[in-house]
Amino acid sequence: MGRIGTIIKKKGKMDAKKAKIFTKMGKYISVAAREGGSDPDYNAALKGAIEKAKAANMPNDNIDRAVKKGAGELGNVIYEEFTYEGYGPGGIAVLVEILTENKNRTAADVRSYFTKCNGNLGSNGCVSFMFDHKGILLVDKKDEIDEEEFEMQVIEAGAEDFSSEEDYYEIITDIGDFAAVRDELKEAGYEFSMAELRYLPQTMTKLSEASDIGKMEKLIDLLEDCDDVQNVFHNWEEE
């Protein structure tokens, strides 16, 4: 399994939470529009956010509203973007990406989630060194895709790594090369089932105690159910 196999399992689980996903994506689109302008042709971050929203079947009206909100056309809501780092049960490293208009509320919520699940928040940098920040592209396998030819195109586009998994091709890029690789492959006619920036754990950690496994699952669920949490990354090797 590729470095992000667990993300695929998580993706199916998250598909059942469309309303919350749309709320999170709306915030991300608004921030991208606020910081780089409302025209995706001149704002790579906004272009990527909109593509991700469309891939999740987010309605166009929701996308347009989020862009207008970010541009200040629908009121002036200011979101703060930051990352929490901490440890889950059994010492599992956890990174939590936040986007919120109320930092104090979010801090209290996230801290309580860790505490309830026998974990604890740490200082900045306490676990981030265990992860690599990379661009991730997934392309579903199809009969019309020649694997050797595709791999050559991926390498020539500037990707860092390519692997063939059971149902999809996995492409990893450096952060700085992500947009260029994505756009070149898209222009070549390839469609992505995932195209985003993620933190990939350098090593994985197993949990042997049933109680720790249950609490780790609960921690992930609590964090993902929080509207202010954009992404949760960890190095837990799930069975």
Three-class DSSP category at 5: helix
Q: What is the pLDDT of residue 111?
A: 96
In 56-125, alpha helices (H): 60-70, 103-116
Q: What is the pLDDT of residue 18?
A: 63
Chain centroid to CA 119: 22
Number of H helices, E strands in the chain: 8, 8
Q: What is the pLDDT of residue 200?
A: 95
pLDDT in tens, the chain (239 residues): 445 555 554 455 545 466 678 888 888 898 888 888 889 888 888 888 888 888 778 889 989 988 988 888 776 678 888 999 999 999 999 999 999 989 999 999 999 999 999 999 999 999 999 999 999 999 999 999 999 999 999 999 999 999 998 899 999 999 999 989 999 999 999 998 888 889 999 999 999 999 999 999 999 999 999 989 999 999 999 87
Q: What is the pLDDT of residue 1?
A: 46
Q: What is the pLDDT of residue 22?
A: 85
Q: Are 29 and 67 in contact (CB under 8 A)?
A: yes
The matching CATH number, chosen from 3.40.630.30, 1.10.10.200, 1.25.40.20, 3.40.50.300, for 5-70 is 1.10.10.200
List the chain domain ranges: 5-70
How many C-beta neighbours within 10 Å does residue 152 have?
Answer: 12
Retrieve residue 36's tokens.
């780089």
Biggest CA–CA distance in the chain, Å, is 52
Order of all β-strands in the sheet with 161-164: 161-164, 168-174, 131-140, 194-201
